[in-house]
Amino acid sequence: MLYFSPYDWLILPPLILSLYAAWKVRSTFAKYSRVRALSGMTGRDAARMILRSDGITDVTIEVTPGQLTDHYHPTQKALRLSEDVYYGDSIAALGVAAHEAGHAVQHHRAFAPLVLRNMAAPVTGIGSYLGPVLFMIGLFMGAGTTVFGYYAMLAGIVLFGAATAFAVITVPVEIDASRRAMKLLVEGGHLTRDEAPMARKVLTAAALTYLAGMLMAMMQLLKYVLIFTRMSRDD
Ligand SMILES: [Zn+2]
């Protein structure tokens, strides 16, 4: 279902930003993957010590295949680190491991934006997929001529709006996890004060991808709203 609107250019700036962010994450991670941390600790060691220091005993630390696939799974209470991070003793590995451990700490302490994000997660999957589909169906039926078309477009906007809200709430969750990570790495003696800025560069690049994702969703939502108001007026 391909459709061109006069508002398609709205997507261009966030698209460029997200391409830049994806490149920035890979290049920064690669750069600091080659710098070994003086502490000699691996990502797994750092994650385990951070969890322990927060009194978290029910989260497992596992290896997951792929590159930059690191994540924390809240319902399974599993901290999954990619091989480079799990076994790695580089500054980049420690930064990423601590960031993911930061998510486990957020979960443990019921950090409000994370709780909200986890609640919104199931709706998001449906919203980001079904929202655009419903919108397109409504668009082809005509928003101003058929009642069904009008409500299909509206429902599409509401559903996609929920997915956008999720992308928005993700940004403070990610920034907070990185902020915690940096504090824990330095305080725990995993990184020296000279090494910390390098880990921060990796995490800042990662944060940029979430920012780009948020802007992308917002612009797409704006595009839908603009098309909708135009069509329901003109039809
Ligand atoms: Zn994260």
Determine the distance separating the centroid of ligand 1 and the alpha carbon of 17, expressed in angstroms.
Answer: 19
Determine the distance separating the centroid of ligand 1 and the alpha carbon of 214, expressed in angstroms.
Answer: 14
Return mean pLDDT, the chain: 93
Identity at 16, one-letter amino acid code: I
pLDDT digits (tens, 9 = 90+) for 137-152: 998 887 667 888 889 9
What are the domain boundaries of the chain?
8-234
Determine the distance separating the centroid of ligand 1 and the alpha carbon of 94, expressed in angstroms.
Answer: 14
pTM to 2 decimal places? 0.90
CA atoms within 13 A on the CB side of 35: 18
Average the pLDDT over 123-138 and give the result: 90
Is residue 191 over pLDDT 50? yes
pLDDT-wise least confident of 5-14, 25-34, 76-85, 95-104: 5-14
Determine the distance separating the centroid of ligand 1 and the alpha carbon of 189, expressed in angstroms.
Answer: 22
Structure tokens at 9: 């250019």
Question: Higher model confidence: residue 1 or residue 205?
Answer: 205
Q: In this structure, what are the phi and psi dihedrals at residue 61, rounded to the nearest 5 degrees?
A: -110, 120
Which residues are the active-site residues?
100
What was the pLDDT predicted at 6? 84
**In the block, which residue shows the tokens 């589909």?**
133
